[in-house]
Structure 1
Amino acid sequence: MMRRRHLLATAAACAAPAGAMAQVRAAAPACPSQRGDVVGLVLEGTGGPAGAVAVFGQAFRPGDVPDAGAGRAALRARLPDGRPVPVQVDVKARHPDGSARWAVVALSCPALPRGSRQGVVLSAAAEAAGPAMDTAAALSGRQAVVTVRGAGGAEWRLDLLPAFRAALAEAPWQAGPLAVAARISAAVSPAAAGGVASLRLVADVALRADGALWVEAWFRNDVAMRPNGGEAAYAAQLVLDGRTALEVTIPRQFQYTGWGRLVGSVRAGTAPWVRHDAAYLADAAAVARYDLSTGVDEAVLARMGQAVTTPAWAAPLTARGIAQDMGQTGGRPDIGPATMPQAAWLITGDPRAAAYALGQAEAAGSIPWHYWDPSGGAGSGGWIDTRRWPRLWSDGRGGPAPGGLMQPVAGDTGWRADCAHQPDLNFVPYLLTGRRALLDNLQAQASWCVVSQWPAPAARGAAGAAGPGEGVNVVRGNQVRGAAWSLRQLENAAWVSPDADPNRPWLRAAAAGNWAWIRAQIPAWTAAQGEAHGWIPGEYGSAGVLPPWQQDYFASTAAIAARRGDEAARAVLTWMANFLVGRFAAADRGFTRNDGAAYLIANLSSGGQPLGSWAAIGEATRARGLSNGNGWGKSEGDYVQLAMASLAAVSDALGSEKAAQAYGWLAGTGAPFTRAQDFARDPVFHIVPRGRAGARCAP
């Protein structure tokens, strides 16, 4: 069916009134200026004392933080005046050359008055940080106890600290002088969980050198393909150092959902807020290259800041502004390479945008697409994958297990997940914070992207099925936007998952298989599409037409994968560039330039065959009343923004001068929603070519 136009608007919770705006821009990070310097950051004071430990995630460019031997890497940190700052780095993922790709970093920060800012520079070091702290001494006299009670009075209790000590010895998440962290997972007694065997506690416990004890406790009712799963009902309590840090009653938690909170017993005061260098993150191919010069409307940030203080925001298992009916079209601030709050966070570093984005990352746990396989991964648990479940279709039409879920997703969850309109709620929050629970959410969604697709006999494990992408294909037969966002999830989850994570091999194989499959189709698609080749075939809902903006969606995913080194993705993007760039350079061949960003253009003949030339496409587009002509009447939405973002990504990933020229032309046309104030109010697609992103650092 025809979707109504994707009109540009910002959700009511984040909208800004028209008129004059105060724009918030990122604080310039300290400039790397010495040999070995890698990246500058900004610390924003909270009034805490010297020595408060800030922990965050940081991506690195290939080669910037070399392997220091024995699988280690080392960093130093200093203030711009040269004073050293104690630092600890725990590398989780590496580039092919062995250098750090993504790590959890801890800083022992200087004392900073609330609101003050201090630059800090991270540098590659010759030696790793010192030995881990004395955990036994640091935990002496501490307490962390979780209790779960069922309606009938049954109680399940777990003392986290003995389990924490054991987990640190076996598989620490952080291990050094500033921070130690590890994960505890345990099945909750069915009697305490309302009679179901699908509820588990996943607690990430961290102890820091400043004396803070942090627990991120998640109650995940997500065990799949096992008997006795279903809706859970319970009361939960977490006591930290004699204080009730968390207490809540959950009358009904649907299966395949989770919720959690990060709470702490903080003795020394809160550590400073860390503002990342978004330009460096773009150079590292972690995120798109956002324009940092325009900033974000203060009113947008103020509304986000207000939203997170409401009582409704604090309640578990609520949507927190996420579109629960994901099939909903129209203005959606959550659809893109990142969500609008995440883009605002990257562009400004503002804690209000971060709090909103992190709140939505937590709320993503309530979407019923979390399928935990206790025997998955390397055998001790992992998200559902098609190696173990090749026939699984999580849709209710999958039938009895193993064709479908053993317990189908309930029909009254309030959520309708849709791969064509799914937001990525967790990649950026995990990337910037290192909160492990958000990686869980990211990986679970990536798994769902595969098992929610109908496993056609030729696609999953059928006799004789072979070739790239079999068993994991999210492109074939899908809407192009669905393929774009599903591949976005697989690509992001595979790229940022720790090298030792048992889910990573399947995620990497799934992403690579899809890129290889698309690449294998290029010769046939080129022959069919002719001169204007470069558009991904898919289900569009309207006969004979193509929405260019869906190709732009797909290009954003292909570009980030290409920039991360995937050669198949680069080949796909290179092929797509013929269409993506060519639509703005074919006026002399009969295709109106402004129609490159029209809502729809004609692409098939009345007989369903691809139109083989720009002239034929242009003539059919005009004949069907779809052409912009010399104006923009068919682009009254974010379609020009999308085209600009696509051209910028092609320019960045491929070094295409033609794409950069087309971007420059389009940016100067005055097309709808391309003014600076439009991007300041909704920066989701404010993506620019390399060199146009604004000032990077301060001396």
Structure 2
Amino acid sequence: MRRRDLLAAAAACAVPGGAVAQVRAPAPACASQPGDVVGLVLEGTGGPAGSVAVFGQAFRPGDVPNRGAGLRARLADGRPLPVQLDVKTRHPDGSARWAVVALACPALSRGSRQGVVLSAAVEAAGPPLDLTAALAGRQAIVTVRPAGGAAGGAEWRMDLLPAFRAALAEAPWQSGPLAVAARVSAAVPASATGGVASLRLVADVALRADGSLWVEAWFRNDVAMRPNGGEAAYAAQLVMDGRVALEARIPRQFQYTGWGRLIGTVREGAAPAPPWVRHDAAYLADAAAVARYDLATGVDEGVLARMGQAVTSPGWAAALTGRGITQDMAQTGGRADIGPATMPQAAWLITGDPRAAAYALGQAEAAGSIPWHYWDPSGGSGAGGWIDTRRWPRLWSDGRGGPAPGGLMQPIAGDTGWRADCAHQPDLNFVPFLLTGRRALLDNLQAQASWCVVSQWPSPMARGTSGAAGPGEGVNVVRGNQVRGAAWSLRQLENAAWASPDNDPDRPWLRAAAAGNWAWIRAQIPGWTAAQGEAHGWIPGEYGTPGVLPPWQQDYFASTAAIAARRGDEAARAVLAWMANFLVGRFGAANRGFARNDGAAYLIANLSSAGQSLGSWAAIGDATRARALSNGGGWSKSEGDYAQLALASLAALSDALGSEEAEQAYAWLAGAGAPFTRPQDFARDPTFHIVPRGRGGSRCAS
């Protein structure tokens, strides 16, 4: 769904007189007692008492301090609830950073709400479920057969539950009294797929104390750099507890794509949906998991209604469809899928609304159909991982990469319907994984981060094959790139490295790739400062118009630098502090000849005709006016989301660096009447409604 469609729907749902019907998140319960960590809100679905909700939760440093510790949970009225904590990543001090949480919920009628508080506990919840009793009589069998009964083909079956038992003993995703979960996977033989050997079954299986069995089954045709890969044609079926839970006919699945669904059953039929968990977005911002979104303005009801309608449309459930993602990513203009998070994800964080969540989760699943998933069966620690430059230093996934190992062994088909572009790529999976803990969405996130590196042209120096050494060599996504491409590629590397569990075999390369890029940029700062002069602080990059700088691309980059800085990357913090001279200074240089309103112009002049940096605010201002790019005292050159982007970066600078100058510039711009900065504008499109600390609205309900 494009942003203009959502805005049109919002306008149609506005109340008489031009006001906007806004939806705000219910205030979470207050974490008010010693040891309290965070408050949440449960929204009823009509399920029985004891239904187990599973979700992801980020934590601030020190809030859950001890290894081997757990959580306690209580309702707002003080009644305790059983809760289970499975920590996946830790802060440098050893405290929990992100975890999968299971919560046994009270019975809540559909739409009713109940606050719950999570507190740190000294001990973990207890031993895991009794598998013998929980699995007795249960069934989960996947069948794959050739599409159309192809001659020479053969049906392939996998009983997931014996493999699940083995996986639980070796590498559980959850292990406790409320939920046990683990991953099983297998290569699907070519005889079942139309003759190709690149299809994998990856199934995340879970049992919960409420008697439900959950399978998230993904069919990933993504094995790369091996013979006999290609387009798969097959029919797939998942039978759970004697009933067909999933069935699909896939006449053509392009290589480097995947699709999957999450399905739950009880012995009697479909599993009741557990209560919906609404997170505290302000706490998540404090934990440096997400940007600090404004929670006071809310989101237009029309936007949420349109998303709710989309997920119930007949075509939404089909496998390998785009679900509103811009498939030609080279398209520019107002897009609902570009930003630190997508617009549906921002709406989810701001409101907690299940309609926004369903839309964002649907797009996270649909991201599997983008052909940028390259699985290396010998990657990671040797048992499989996403393609990385340690094993494939010369790889360029572009069709111009040539034969393997310079290019992919099987090139990407030209008629997939997708055109991936690093300068306009959305992050479709980080927020959904963060809030749900669904492991398949982490796969999609990691695969995209890998693609961000191997889709860049590997010049000999860039991949270190000439013997050159230095920070970022081999993984550099900034040098020679558009600034927006660098911003979004680093966003993917940063988010994938931050989200990957501490024991994940892909995490070391992802972390090294992100850190290497920040270190490389930091190393350029002295040279860039000398070249850029008084107005220094902008990241050089490729742009189509010579001699000009789009400030909004610097704002894109600042959003990535800010989240990395808030997560503790000192090189990213140094880069952001250096950028502040330009990002804040553009709104404070009027007395030096640069119009204040031009800080949010579409373009400003930055280079002379000889390609040299203009060096001073006065020279930049003169050249901007001479090229008819200046706003002057108005906003004619800012008709777009450019002022929104400037506000977002000023807010991030204030939050990450504690910059009073950034806070002052934010306050001026927020009240200056720039286009699309009214509350109703942000309610209809909250993608960049990022605010300084203290401006985000109320925190909790007592």
Fold-level similarity (TM above 0.5): yes
Is 1:551 matched with 2:548? Answer: no
Name whichever of 468-477 and 121-130 sits farther off: 121-130
Is 1:78 matched with 2:78? Answer: no
On the 8 A contact 2:10/2:301 being kept in 1, the answer is: no
Is 1:382 matched with 2:385? Answer: yes
On the 8 A contact 1:13/1:304 being kept in 2, the answer is: no
Is 1:175 matched with 2:175? Answer: yes
CA distance in 2, matches of 1:316, 1:300: 25
Is 1:659 matched with 2:658? Answer: no
1:562-581 alignment to 2 at 5 Å?
562-581=565-584
On the 8 A contact 2:538/2:579 being kept in 1, the answer is: yes
One-letter amino acid matched to 1:56: F
The answer for the alignment partner of 1:149 in structure 2 is 145
* CA spacing shift, 1:300–1:485, aligned 2, 3 Å: same
1:491-506 alignment to 2 at 5 Å?
491-506=494-509
Q: CA deviation at 1:271?
A: 1.0
Partner SS, residue 33 of structure 1: coil
**Which of 686, 690, 701 is 1:687 aligned to?**
690
Partner SS, residue 608 of structure 2: coil
CA distance in 1, matches of 2:408, 2:26: 48
The answer for the alignment partner of 1:63 in structure 2 is 62
CA distance in 1, matches of 2:597, 2:8: 33
CA distances 1:656-687 after superposition (whole Å, capped 9, x unpaired)? 00000000000001110001110000000000
On the 8 A contact 1:442/1:489 being kept in 2, the answer is: yes
**Which of 396, 402, 419 is 1:399 aligned to?**
402
**Which of 85, 97, 100 is 1:101 aligned to?**
97
Q: CA deviation at 1:473?
A: 0.1
The answer for the alignment partner of 1:590 in structure 2 is 593
The answer for the alignment partner of 1:3 in structure 2 is none
Q: CA deviation at 1:16?
A: 4.1
Q: CA deviation at 1:12?
A: 7.2
CA distance in 1, matches of 2:356, 2:3: 20
CA distance in 1, matches of 2:458, 2:248: 40
CA distance in 2, matches of 1:590, 1:646: 23
The answer for the alignment partner of 1:416 in structure 2 is 419
The answer for the alignment partner of 1:123 in structure 2 is 119
CA distance in 1, matches of 2:325, 2:313: 16
One-letter amino acid matched to 1:214: W
CA distances 1:539-592 after superposition (whole Å, capped 9, x unpaired)? 011100000000000000000000000000000000000000000000000000
**Which of 366, 369, 380 is 2:369 aligned to?**
366
Q: CA deviation at 1:11?
A: 4.9
The answer for the alignment partner of 1:447 in structure 2 is 450
Measured on the aligned residues, the alpha-carbon RMSD in Å equals 1.1
Is 1:630 matched with 2:633? Answer: yes
CA distance in 2, matches of 1:641, 1:194: 50
The answer for the alignment partner of 2:38 in structure 1 is 39
* CA spacing shift, 1:458–1:11, aligned 2, 3 Å: farther
* CA spacing shift, 1:8–1:357, aligned 2, 3 Å: closer
Partner SS, residue 522 of structure 1: helix
* CA spacing shift, 1:597–1:8, aligned 2, 3 Å: farther
**TM-score normalised according to structure 1 size:** 0.98
Report the count of equivalent residues.
690
The answer for the alignment partner of 2:305 in structure 1 is 302
CA distance in 2, matches of 1:256, 1:180: 30
On the 8 A contact 1:391/1:461 being kept in 2, the answer is: no
CA distances 1:320-353 after superposition (whole Å, capped 9, x unpaired)? 0000000001110110000000000000000000
On the 8 A contact 2:336/2:342 being kept in 1, the answer is: yes
On the 8 A contact 2:385/2:506 being kept in 1, the answer is: yes
CA distance in 1, matches of 2:136, 2:180: 15
1:470-549 alignment to 2 at 5 Å?
470-549=473-552
CA distance in 2, matches of 1:387, 1:420: 24
One-letter amino acid matched to 1:263: I
Which contiguous aligned blocks of 4+ residues in structure 1 show a shift greater than 6 angstroms? none
CA distances 1:144-184 after superposition (whole Å, capped 9, x unpaired)? 00000003251000000000001001100000000000000
Partner SS, residue 192 of structure 2: coil
On the 8 A contact 1:37/1:124 being kept in 2, the answer is: yes
Q: CA deviation at 1:82?
A: 1.6
On the 8 A contact 2:86/2:99 being kept in 1, the answer is: yes
Partner SS, residue 668 of structure 2: helix
Is 1:158 matched with 2:154? Answer: no
The answer for the alignment partner of 1:434 in structure 2 is 437
One-letter amino acid matched to 1:67: N
On the 8 A contact 2:139/2:241 being kept in 1, the answer is: yes
On the 8 A contact 1:9/1:330 being kept in 2, the answer is: no
* CA spacing shift, 1:376–1:13, aligned 2, 3 Å: farther
CA distances 1:570-621 after superposition (whole Å, capped 9, x unpaired)? 0000000000000000000000000000000000001000011000000000
CA distance in 1, matches of 2:66, 2:688: 35
One-letter amino acid matched to 2:262: L
On the 8 A contact 1:13/1:307 being kept in 2, the answer is: no
* CA spacing shift, 1:434–1:14, aligned 2, 3 Å: farther
CA distances 1:490-521 after superposition (whole Å, capped 9, x unpaired)? 00000011000000000000000000000000
CA distances 1:33-53 after superposition (whole Å, capped 9, x unpaired)? 100000000000111111000
Q: CA deviation at 1:21?
A: 2.0
Q: CA deviation at 1:79?
A: 1.1
CA distances 1:263-286 after superposition (whole Å, capped 9, x unpaired)? 110367321000000000000000
CA distance in 1, matches of 2:174, 2:612: 57
CA distance in 2, matches of 1:9, 1:281: 29
The answer for the alignment partner of 2:260 in structure 1 is 260
On the 8 A contact 2:537/2:580 being kept in 1, the answer is: yes
